[in-house]
Chain A
Amino acid sequence: MFKYFEPNKIFAVTSKAPKYVLFLFIVILSIGLAEALILSPEDYKQSHSVRIMYVHVPAAWICLGIFSSITFLSVVGYIFKIRNFFLISKSLAPSGFVFNIIAIVTGSIWGKPTWGTWWAWDARITSMLIMALFYLLYLISWRIYENNDKVFKVTSIITILGIINVPIVKYSVDWWNTLHQPASVNILSQSSIHISMLYPLLIMTAAFALFSLLIFLMKYNTELIKIKNKGLDRL
């Protein structure tokens, strides 16, 4: 029913990859942290608390990116019955969830000195919380329906429900009055962040993306080993 793929061939590559990714991650993270914490200037308004942004924004980006990828893979996997896509989604989810929590927590830490409150029920913050709940729902459903074909349907539906929330997260600051400020980094229009602050931000984003890749590879390898242990050379 599901398309076959050969875990052995994939495993030959993915089992060797983590150490290189880890090395690259440490290098990029060191550069990123040095830039973000020491070399980059303080902000004219918020002074040093701007440095929280170098963790907060990349975490939020990666979190949104991973949820979109999971949805895409799950939907295509469901339509064409590709089991491998579901395993990739399953392995991607934990780091997306972790970055979601990091984005919320660092946002809260930044909000206290800047806004004067830890938490506000504004559209951006609330939709990020809803996103964390969707991640949780997704992860729990894998636990519940493990080794059951139902898991493919259930997780696909959860991702479709959750993907509706993604544009809401992105555009909440433009559609409604929110306490959270609108996006500073824009691809199509002029960014309102100074170039000396944009570089560390992009380096940190690369570092976090590598971290996600690392966690993904480790999770994915575990999945492949599980399949091997079942004595199946084809899934």
Chain B
Amino acid sequence: MYGNKVKLRFFFIFLVFLILSLTAFLILKSLEENVVYFQSPTDVKSLAEIEKNKIRIGGMVKNNSIFIEEKELKFIVTDFENEINVIYTGVIPNLFSEGKGVVAEGFLKDRSLFLATKILAKHDENYMPPEVKAALKEK
């Protein structure tokens, strides 16, 4: 139906696409540790040794875990399997609250204590008006 040239060009494009996809896949796979923006408490627990460099951890702020003592903010980050205590001094983002996502940047003291130098509030994918939220809560 089509000429040989057309078939050859099709095959050429197909091969280029295949090779590039595989290359991209391999690169991303090997760089996975760097591609992830933060590690979960479970990832931290399974670390072979405690990371000395600055890292980011993330998860949910555990309910009723926020304590403010003088200038220090203490809270617990959980992924519902493991938990890490976080101590932080500095500016708190507006949307930081209990039961919501958080990403903390800083240093691991040990497997269950993290000294944060910066915290970011992570927003989830739920969008709704306040009335709907209130109605959901009542349920």
User: What chain B residues lie within 8 Å of A193 (beta carbons)?
Assistant: 125-128
Q: Contact check, A196 vs B129: say whether CB atoms are below 8 A apart.
A: yes
B111 → A minimal CB distance (Å): 19
Q: Contact check, A160 vs B17: say whether CB atoms are below 8 A apart.
A: yes
Q: Contact check, B129 vs A115: say whether CB atoms are below 8 A apart.
A: no
User: What chain B residues lie within 8 Å of A176 (beta carbons)?
Assistant: 32, 35-37
Q: Interface readout for A184-204 with B: 1 if CB under 8 Å, 0 if not?
A: 100000001110110000000
Chain A residues bordering chain B, tally (CB within 8 A):
41
Q: Contact check, A46 vs B37: say whether CB atoms are below 8 A apart.
A: no
User: What chain A residues lie within 8 Å of B113 (beta carbons)?
Assistant: none
User: What chain B residues lie within 8 Å of A50 (beta carbons)?
Assistant: 127
Q: Contact check, B127 vs A192: say whether CB atoms are below 8 A apart.
A: yes
- Show 20 residue pairs from A and B whose CB-CB distance is below 8 angstroms, ordered by the A residue: A43-B128, A43-B130, A44-B128, A44-B130, A44-B132, A45-B95, A45-B123, A45-B126, A46-B95, A79-B10, A79-B13, A114-B93, A114-B94, A122-B37, A123-B36, A176-B35, A177-B40, A179-B103, A184-B127, A194-B132
Interface on B for A, CB 8 Å cutoff?
A: 2, 6, 9-10, 13, 16-17, 20-21, 24, 28, 32, 35-40, 58, 91, 93-96, 100, 103, 118-134
The binding surface of chain B is classed by DSSP as mixed
Known: A122-B37, A161-B20, A164-B20. A115 touches B128 (CB 8 A): no
Give the distance in Å from the alpha carbon of A215 to the alpha carbon of B17 in the complex. 30
User: What chain A residues lie within 8 Å of B94 (beta carbons)?
Assistant: 113-114, 116
Interface on A for B, CB 8 Å cutoff?
A: 41-46, 50, 53, 75, 78-80, 113-117, 120-123, 156-157, 160-161, 163-164, 168, 176-179, 181-184, 192-194, 196-197
User: What chain A residues lie within 8 Å of B20 (beta carbons)?
Assistant: 160-161, 164
Q: Contact check, A177 vs B37: say whether CB atoms are below 8 A apart.
A: yes
Give the distance in Å from the alpha carbon of A178 to the alpha carbon of B122 in the complex. 9
Q: Contact check, B123 vs A114: say whether CB atoms are below 8 A apart.
A: yes
